[in-house]
Amino acid sequence: DTGVSQDPRHKITKRGQNVTFRCDPISEHNRLYWYRQTLGQGPEFLTYFQNEAQLEKSRLLSDRFSAERPKGSFSTLEIQRTEQGDSAMYLCASSRLWTGERNTEAFFGQGTRLTVV
């Protein structure tokens, strides 16, 4: 088990460009979450998948953001026409399907730090 992996770790882009981030969850984890974290704040939920189905989106997820998890394994988060306000750390987490039992903690990746200039 190599943990949750995110790529790239850092991304600098010019305003107006599109960017795509990748997340590889822990294998056998059905659920995959995306969060955004700005300086001095905790992670904020953006969206999550159960297998390949995107089940919920936060209102923070504007229409410039899209996420996919095509085969229920890795996921991508794309931001189109980036704005300076998109500068943040984007975190991915995965967990087993929630059963209310002890083993349903979420594990986070190291994040992708996006800087829009």
Partner 1 sequence: DAKTTQPPSMDCAEGRAANLPCNHSTISGNEYVYWYRQIHSQGPQYIIHGLKNNETNEMASLIITEDRKSSTLILPHATLRDTAVYYCIAAIGGFKTIFGAGTRLFVKA
x-or-dash string of contact with partner 1, 36-75, rule CB under 8 A: ----xxxxxx--x-------x-x-----------------
With residue 53 as reference, give the H or E element that holds it: strand 53-57
- Could you tell me the smallest distance in angstroms from the CB atom of residue 81 to partner 1? 25
What does residue 100 show for φ and ψ, rounded to 5 degrees?
Answer: 80, 10
Determine if residue 99 is left, alpha or beta; phi over 0 gives left, psi from -120 to 50 gives alpha, anything else beta. Answer: alpha
| 18 near partner 1, rule: CB under 8 A | no
| 7 near partner 1, rule: CB under 8 A | no
Helices (H), 1-80: none
| 31 near partner 1, rule: CB under 8 A | yes
- CB of 19 or CB of 106, closer to partner 1: 106
| 111 near partner 1, rule: CB under 8 A | yes
On whether the CB atoms of residues 56 and 49 are closer than 8 A, the answer is no
Q: Of 30, 46, 58, 56, which is closest to residue 89 (Cα–Cα)?
A: 46
| 110 near partner 1, rule: CB under 8 A | yes
Residues that bind partner 1 (CB under 8 A): 4, 6, 31, 33, 40-45, 48, 56, 58, 91, 93, 95, 98, 100, 102, 105-111, 113
